[in-house]
Structure 1
Amino acid sequence: MTLSLGLLYTVGVFYLALLFGIAFVAERSRTFGRIAGNPWVYTLSLGVYATSWTFYGNLGFLEDHGYLYLTIYLGVTLAFAATPWLLRPILQLAREHQLTSLADLFAFRYRSTLTGPLVALFMLTGILPYIALQIKAVAESAAVLTADTPPHLLALTFSATIALFAILFGARHISPREKHSGLVIAIAFESLVKLLALLIVAAIALYAVFGGLSGLDAWLDRHPEAVSALYEPVTGGGWYSLMVLAFAAAFLLPRQFHMLFTENINPQALNRAAWGFPLFLLLLNLPMPVLYWAGQAAGLTDNPNYYALGLAGWLESPALALLVFIGGVSAASAMMIVTTLALANMGMNYLSLPARLRERQSLPANLYRNLLWGRRIWIVLIIALGYGFYGLLQVVEGLAQLGLISFAAVTQFLPGLIGLMLWPRATRVGFLLGLVAGITGWFFALVAPLLANAGIWASAPRLQHAMGADGLDVWTFALTLSVGTNALLFVLGSMWSRPNQQEIEAGQACCPREPFYTSVDLPLARDVPEMEAELAATLGTMPARHEIERALDDLGLPRHTRSRRDLQRLRERIERNLSGLLGPVLARMIVDRHLRLDAAGRSSLSESLRRIEQQLEDARLPLTGLAAELDALRRFHRQILHELPLGVCSVTAGGEITGWNHALTQLTGVPTENAVGQVVERLERPWGGLLQAFLDSDDRQLYKLNLETRHGPRRLNLHKSSLELASGRREGHVILIEDVTARVQLENEVAHSDRLASIGRFAAGVAHEIGNPLAGIASLAQTLPLEDDPDEIRDIADDIIDQTRRINAIVQSLIAFAHSDTPPRSRFEPVDLDDVISEAIRLTRLAGRKDLHYAPVGIQGLSVEGARAKLLQVFINLLTNAEQASPPGATIRIRAQETGARVRVDIMDQGPGIEPSALDRLFEPFFTTKPAGQGTGLGLPVAYSIVQDHGGSLMAANAPEGGAMMILTLPLGRKA
């Protein structure tokens, strides 16, 4: 039975057009496109792993290696069994940082200009044998069906057709972040087709050749050598190497990485794929022994790779032959389309664009169009190279051999991947050294012998023979040599070199057990339009605007935002979006060049700590052990700060707010989310001006500051502390803001009550003081009518006026004393110490004892900064206490002296002194050492509060010579 080439080509093109139609409808119809996120569809899309090797080459591999063919699928099963520890972390990393290929992943982790290009170039070289395998399988299957069809013509036609459909599938337009739902659904359909084709042809062969399962059992009983031939290679070893190769290929092959991670629409679908995909592979491989034994039983003399086609010919069934051919075309075309799309992205991002960027210092004016055409050219180029490789290696019989060479190529990335996920200390130097060594070993162990067998490189060195390893199978030897050398140099190179800051950050991002934080690179741009203008210098006006708008939409930020935190988040999002479009290396290069860092060019400690906090909150990593305890402690301390009744604000050295607790939100009315990331001076009035002025001042504390807010007047205490590194470099400030409005009002009321109580005590003394001048006035008034001398009358009148002035001074002093309030510190003024103490002595005498003596020393010529009425109250309270403690005829000494920028005043009595147990409680409200009913316990606390408001201090002690001593310090008055 033979079929025409035209029929085969028409059927193949029709099938590819059907796949494209499915993809086209899925992308245009939201309802149909949604099923791309279905876990079963996603699982079937991973069936792109099963290529012509699986569909055809498995039978040839089965004949040569027996049941070892299962290792190619058991290795994949092991990889998917490790989904929680292997595939899911890679998926999270790829989605978080917009990594669309294996080259992106390694370039992101091992930051070097060589990493991406080397990975892309080696991946392209290593996958060419696999692409050649697909072309070879389709051409040879067509040759089997047509008998006389020249394979080259069909191979060339098939390659050109696949190039066209690859462009239609993935390069019709640029959508770097949009998932290709149509491609996912089309590949899932293709996987279903090849599975059904194999199951159908196996079922037909089972009943047509053997008559059913019982007939197969009978044939196997008659031919025990058919079973033993499949078991014998398993005992010979080599299974370990094949499983390692398959394990690596399960997620490192470009097509697998692309479908597993890049095209993943629903991350939860990976849970289903973890067991669903191995089940798919099991169903795909169950028919292989049946087809192999059916070919032997039917006496087929064809190449075992094509027993399925031979059985269709043996049964004289053109329909079955076309079904098998469609299954083979489906397997080959899916692999080539997805692989070329993945490789085209790598080639464009790491081989084409960097070169153009270096030449022109900017990307093409129409970035998206150039990217689109660049990828189309790479698709055609990759398939052309695959066709060229096929032409060189037509003499290679085994399809599986070509596939295993590609498997061995991607296995060279295993050491770097293990380091990426588990070793934050790994460096780009170690990765590059190891990969170059692995590539060299792979080439000389596998590719050179292949070229020698094909007659292309007759003098190629036989490395296995030269090293005396002929006793090993070729795959064990190649794997041990290449991957072993790779891993060794990777470790040694990483230990020998030091990671730079970017590698440290990337290592923390990739390692799931390490908390991830990045340095906070603050953009110099003041707003979004300025960032857009900077970005347009490289991307062009239209792409820059598009990327800015897309990043703003992703973050939900308004275009008018000027918050430094928002601009930083926008910068990071732009970099990640560009990473999906151009790769992480170019994205970082563009962002670093145009969205520049701040003047320091590096992050501050406080900014980094804020970044750690934010990312720990966002990532919600499953921390355990000591890390979990430290994180719990961090959250506990953070909760304490946020719940403190004092307002807490942390500010970086650059003026950016990094902390803003709940109390400060309630006080200011500014929400935490609006304050954090904002520059201090840009806060709404009056808070921005207040905090900035406090930061600029040399004061570390401000007490009872008056501030008019939209909620009314407030009295605030402000405290400032600097954050400094051991090197002495200032990293920022922490500001504590205490609202003491209510307390100040209460203190003023208590002080006023204390003044009124003092006035009550002064009442009798006032009457006596006023009585004396009144009696003098009465006497003078009685004498006045009796005098005729004008000069004498004038003298009497002057005496009367002096006495009235004396009375008025007493009354005014009491009135001022009763109604005085503490003015703001900004209205304090120099107060003459002699004057205020003298008046305090005089007022104390009004209601006090007349037998005491006051001995002021050193008070002349000194002045203090403050409010005169308040200071008068302080001295009255202190002198009153000294008076009440002194024995009859005692002397109260008042000694003042200037000490630096302050004035110290000591008031000493000659009483019994103060009990040591009472010294610490003396300034507590309502505490008194006097008998019940003789003291309120408010005098000293009021005096203490007033002195504190003035920036001074008040202490109590026992004088060495006996008696109590009050030590008062006040700021020295400013000289006029």
Structure 2
Amino acid sequence: MTLDLGVISAAVVGYLLLLFLIAYVTDRQWLPAWLTRNPVVYVLSLGVYATTWSYYGSVGFAQDQGLNFLTIYLGVTLAFVLTPVLLMPILRLTRTYQLTSVADLFAFRFNSQWAGVLVTLLMLAGVLPYIALQIRAVAESTQVLTPESSPHVLAFWFMVLVTVFTMIFGARHVSPREHHAGLVAAIAFESLMKLVALLLVAGVAVWQAFGGIGGMHAWLADNPDQLEALYAPAREGPWTSLLVLTFAAAFLLPRQFHMLFAENQNPRDLNLASWAFPLFLLALTLVIPPILWAATVLQPGTPADYHVLGLSLASGSPALALLAYLGGISAASAMIVVSTLAISAMTLNHLVLPLAGPQPHRDLYGALRWARRVVMVTVIAAGYGFYLILEPTAGLVGWGLISFLAMAQLLPGIVGLLFWPRATSHGFIAGLLGGACVWVFTVLLPPVTGDSTMLWMGLPSADGDQPAVYQSATFWSLAINSVLFVIVSLLSRPDEREREAAAVCRDLNPTLPVGDLRARSPQQFVKRLASVMGKSAARKEVEKAVRERGLHWDETRPSHLHGLRAQIERNISGMMGPVLARMIVDEQLQMDTRSRTALAQNVRLIEDRLETSRTRLRGLAAELDRLRRYHRQIIEDLPLGVCAVAQGGRLVRWNPAIAELTRIPMSDVIGRRLDELPDPWGPLLASFLSSDASHWHRQEIQTNDHARWYSLHKAAIDDPSSSNRSTDTVLLVEDLTEVSVLEQELAHSERLASIGRLAAGVAHEIGNPVTGISCLAQELRDEDTDEERTNAIAEEVLNQAQRINNIVQSLVRYAHGGVGSQRPPEPVDLRQTVEEAMRLTTLSRRARFVRFDNELPEGVTISGEPQQLVQVFVNLFSNAADACADRDDEGAIRISLEHYGDGWINVHVRDNGGGIPDDVLDHVLEPFVTTKRPGYGTGLGLPLVYNIVREHGGEVLVDSNTTGTCITLRLRPDIPLAGQNPAVADGQSRS
């Protein structure tokens, strides 16, 4: 039975249109996300590994080599079993650094353009025969169904259709790093198509040949030579070599690398694939022996490589034959499309662009798309040329092994990439050249030149036992490759970039960035990149990187700009390759070597990397890490706000306490300058850092219409390992709001208590002028007085009323100087303050008989809060009056002033009382320490004096003996409060 060529052609075109439709609706997101983004779709897309070699050729390979055909699947299974230590690290690298191909991976690790070029050339030489294999399989399978058809014509039109499909869905995106969701869905459907077709053909063939599985077992029992033919080659066959080749092909073939890593959208999908994909391969494997045995019985009259089609024709069902044929079309088209997509990206990034150099295009993206399309057409055309050149005598598996052995030459490099940091680019290139030469002369050239008698290094001839040729070629090529790789790597030394890349590949952290970038903002990044990429492309790339890093266009923090630079390099790497991307970024966004950034700027980055590092520290390193964590936890748990400022005034530490005080999260602070922080913290901390003072006591900050008080402290951080003077500083912020409120409430309570003690004196003082006013009023009522006398009486009444008003106002001002009354400092005349305090004190009966001598000169002022200073002197005078109460003669209180030096003055308050006992003198400034009888004092007067004077930047000294006590207030005239910045004070007064 044969099929009509027109029917076959229509079926092929219709099938490719169906694939086109699947890809189109997926890209348009017309299908639900749970279906298109399902991990099963990703697993099935990996079935691109099963090409016409697996679909058709496995039966022929099993007939010639018995169970050796299992190596086609076992090597892949072994690679996926090693997912945690092999595939997952490669996935991490490709995702993080946007490496889209095998050439990108090695160029990144060895920081070598030549490494990328050689890998690309090897991939081209290895993939082109494989593409030719697919074209050949399509042509020959079509001839099986329609013997009168011309194979070259069929191959040509199949190539044209696949080229169109590849260009439509392979070059839609600028970067091959962009996920091709539609293409993945189409490849997954093709994999499912291959599996279903093989299972149906095997099922129908077994039923026709044996009547079912039981009949097949009976036939095998009657024909033990069939099982012996299957087992015999495996006992002597090249198991090891074939396993190595298929192991390498599992993830190094361009199509496999692309589907495994470039199209992976979720790392967890790879964990699923580590066991699900081997199950898919197992399903393909199980049908091969039944198909071979059924062909032995039914004798379809086709070559062993095409028994799948022969058995479907023997069934007499055109539908089954057409389904089996479309399964082969699926296998061939999927391989060509994905391989061309992957190899074109490598060719463009490592061969074309480095030769042409980056050019500032108006439409860089459009130019890259067209360049990629041209490369795709060229690659497929070259594969068709290989199909015309290669001899069709060898089986399909033989052509596939040519490509597999080429991929195996990268295995030593993979080992060095992941596990040997000492490997160098020179060693990798030397080993690759040596192994590639063996591959070219023993495997590639004989079928290309048609000279199958070539001998090289004593290897078997190509027209002899083919597995022996590949076994020897595999051994010698990898042996020479590995030896050269190791020896040259040991004789050469990796440069700094190679060492950084090696650390990254081993899941260690690269060297931290030191210094500032010449571009200090995203806008400057655009300006510098525009000279190479064009303004439009430069802006789009920077916008994309800014969005991905979660930054703003006004970003200036060095650490974030370094991260932005790295992100731009990765994005360009996905579009142009890692080496060219690094060249562009290094040239345009290089470091300013004249700027040296302190290590402290990287403290947070170092700690974050240590926290997320998967490397287990051992020994002394582990102990040091525990010590680091302990010290860090001390800072994190400290109830004081802590921030560290590195060179250049940038913040490198911001503990949770200060984040809670300021309501500014750490993520918004690290790397910024102090003056970039929002008000009021930015100006306050910046002013304190620039000041000479090491402490600012009790700073008032208005936050959310509430006043809060803080004390600021700072200290320089010395680096004992550096000979240069360190400029790093640590700032401490202490919240004194609760203490300040309590002190104000205590002062207010003490003030009210003083007013209570003054009550009797107030009544007496007010009583005298009231009596005088009453007498004067009676005189005006009862006596006839002339106008002059009336005016005199009225004037006296006004004087007495003013006297009452002065007393009342003094009490009111004194009483209102309590909670919530703290105001910005203002000039306070010391003599007038003392006079008012004297008037208030003399209202008390015990102070009425004490003589006050105010010897303070006129015009001496200090900056402060008037009522607080009045309270200072009221407390001092009250204590002095109580001390003089027991004297038989007149008590005296003398207030004098002397200059202390360096602009300081001493205000002395002396009394002639009995003094303070020696056992109390040292504690007299402490709360609740008093020499008075119970009920006559609380012991809070002098502590309040001490606190108020300290807030005014002064000191309190106490000297006492049996002849009296002297309290000395050391103050600085005409200055702001201690530590109070004038700009801050002005800002507070305005608010």
TM-score by length of 1: 0.76
Q: What corresponds to 2:855 in structure 1? A: none
SS at match of 2:714: strand
Does the aligned pair in 2 maintain the 1:564–1:679 contact within 8 Å? Answer: no
Distance change (3 Å), C-alpha of 1:434 and 1:928? farther
Does the aligned pair in 2 maintain the 1:139–1:155 contact within 8 Å? Answer: yes
Does the aligned pair in 2 maintain the 1:525–1:595 contact within 8 Å? Answer: no
What pairs with 1:399-414 in structure 2 (closer than 5 Å)? 399-414=396-411
With 221-230 and 725-734 compared, the bigger mean Cα shift is at: 725-734
Root-mean-square deviation (Å): 5.8
Alpha-carbon separation, structure 1, partners of 2:726 and 2:823: 29
Does the aligned pair in 1 maintain the 2:102–2:254 contact within 8 Å? Answer: yes
Distance change (3 Å), C-alpha of 1:750 and 1:419? farther
| Counterpart residue type for residue 474 of structure 1 | S
Say whether residues 1:373 and 2:373 are aligned partners: no
Q: What corresponds to 2:743 in structure 1? A: 747
- From 604, 608, 616, the counterpart of 2:602: 608
Q: What corresponds to 2:794 in structure 1? A: none
Gaps of 5+ in 1: 767-809, 850-861
Does the aligned pair in 2 maintain the 1:551–1:573 contact within 8 Å? Answer: yes
With 690-699 and 639-648 compared, the bigger mean Cα shift is at: 639-648
Alpha-carbon separation, structure 1, partners of 2:385 and 2:270: 37
Does the aligned pair in 2 maintain the 1:508–1:514 contact within 8 Å? Answer: yes
Say whether residues 1:938 and 2:931 are aligned partners: no
Q: What corresponds to 2:776 in structure 1? A: none
What pairs with 1:544-693 in structure 2 (closer than 5 Å)? 544-551=538-545, 554=548, 573-594=567-588, 604-612=598-606, 645-658=639-652, 660=654, 664=658, 667-668=661-662, 670=664, 674-675=668-669, 678-693=672-687
Distance change (3 Å), C-alpha of 1:941 and 1:145? same
Q: Deviation per CA, 1:462-502: give whole Å up to 9, x if none.
A: 23659xx99993265146415633663587378x43544x8
Alpha-carbon separation, structure 2, partners of 1:417 and 1:474: 22
Distance change (3 Å), C-alpha of 1:970 and 1:628? farther
With 317-326 and 430-439 compared, the bigger mean Cα shift is at: 317-326
What pairs with 1:317-716 in structure 2 (closer than 5 Å)? 320-357=320-357, 360=359, 362=360, 364-394=361-391, 397-418=394-415, 420-421=417-418, 426=421, 430-451=423-444, 453-454=446-447, 456=449, 462-463=456-457, 465=459, 473-474=471-472, 477-478=475-476, 480-482=478-480, 484-485=482-483, 488-489=486-487, 492=490, 496-497=493-494, 499-500=496-497, 504=500, 506=501, 509-512=504-507, 524-526=519-521, 531-551=525-545, 554=548, 573-594=567-588, 604-612=598-606, 645-658=639-652, 660=654, 664=658, 667-668=661-662, 670=664, 674-675=668-669, 678-708=672-702, 711-716=705-710
Say whether residues 1:102 and 2:108 are aligned partners: no
Alpha-carbon separation, structure 2, partners of 1:419 and 1:948: 69
Does the aligned pair in 1 maintain the 2:45–2:259 contact within 8 Å? Answer: yes
Alpha-carbon separation, structure 2, partners of 1:449 and 1:137: 24
With 903-912 and 168-177 compared, the bigger mean Cα shift is at: 903-912
Does the aligned pair in 1 maintain the 2:957–2:969 contact within 8 Å? Answer: yes
Residue 722 of structure 1: how far off its partner (Å): 4.2
Gaps of 5+ in 2: 461-466, 763-806, 848-859, 977-991
Does the aligned pair in 1 maintain the 2:825–2:863 contact within 8 Å? Answer: no
Size of the aligned set, in residue pairs, is: 921
Does the aligned pair in 1 maintain the 2:68–2:233 contact within 8 Å? Answer: yes
Q: Deviation per CA, 1:680-732: give whole Å up to 9, x if none.
A: 32333333322332233333322223445552544432223445544247575
Alpha-carbon separation, structure 1, partners of 2:827 and 2:103: 72
Residue 309 of structure 1: how far off its partner (Å): 3.6
Say whether residues 1:80 and 2:80 are aligned partners: yes
With 387-396 and 57-66 compared, the bigger mean Cα shift is at: 387-396
TM-score by length of 2: 0.75
Q: What corresponds to 2:63 in structure 1? A: 63
Residue 538 of structure 1: how far off its partner (Å): 3.1
Residue 338 of structure 1: how far off its partner (Å): 0.2
SS at match of 1:31: coil
Identity %: 45
SS at match of 1:30: coil
Say whether residues 1:735 and 2:734 are aligned partners: no
Alpha-carbon separation, structure 1, partners of 2:967 and 2:624: 49
Distance change (3 Å), C-alpha of 1:200 and 1:632? farther
Residue 262 of structure 1: how far off its partner (Å): 1.9
Say whether residues 1:926 and 2:928 are aligned partners: yes
Alpha-carbon separation, structure 1, partners of 2:488 and 2:37: 38
Residue 369 of structure 1: how far off its partner (Å): 1.0
Alpha-carbon separation, structure 2, partners of 1:405 and 1:682: 63
Alpha-carbon separation, structure 2, partners of 1:5 and 1:32: 38
Q: Deviation per CA, 1:719-753: give whole Å up to 9, x if none.
A: 23445544247575443333434533543554576
Q: Deviation per CA, 1:848-898: give whole Å up to 9, x if none.
A: 99xxxxxxxxxxxx9999899989988998999999999999xx9x99997
| Counterpart residue type for residue 231 of structure 1 | Y
Alpha-carbon separation, structure 1, partners of 2:513 and 2:303: 57
Residue 146 of structure 1: how far off its partner (Å): 5.2
Does the aligned pair in 1 maintain the 2:504–2:510 contact within 8 Å? Answer: yes
Distance change (3 Å), C-alpha of 1:684 and 1:3? same
Say whether residues 1:166 and 2:166 are aligned partners: yes
Alpha-carbon separation, structure 2, partners of 1:316 and 1:814: 120
Say whether residues 1:221 and 2:221 are aligned partners: yes
Q: Deviation per CA, 1:17-72: give whole Å up to 9, x if none.
A: 33223222322342267622122222211110101211122233323432122122
With 159-168 and 570-579 compared, the bigger mean Cα shift is at: 570-579
Distance change (3 Å), C-alpha of 1:75 and 1:898? farther
Alpha-carbon separation, structure 2, partners of 1:897 and 1:531: 61
Does the aligned pair in 2 maintain the 1:416–1:490 contact within 8 Å? Answer: no
Say whether residues 1:274 and 2:271 are aligned partners: no
Residue 335 of structure 1: how far off its partner (Å): 0.7
SS at match of 2:133: helix
| Counterpart residue type for residue 280 of structure 2 | F
Does the aligned pair in 1 maintain the 2:171–2:369 contact within 8 Å? Answer: yes
Q: What corresponds to 2:234 in structure 1? A: 234
Does the aligned pair in 2 maintain the 1:396–1:454 contact within 8 Å? Answer: no
Alpha-carbon separation, structure 2, partners of 1:944 and 1:603: 45
| Counterpart residue type for residue 240 of structure 1 | T
With 814-823 and 931-940 compared, the bigger mean Cα shift is at: 814-823
Residue 285 of structure 1: how far off its partner (Å): 1.1
| Counterpart residue type for residue 328 of structure 1 | G
Alpha-carbon separation, structure 2, partners of 1:455 and 1:257: 27
Q: What corresponds to 1:184 in structure 2? A: 184
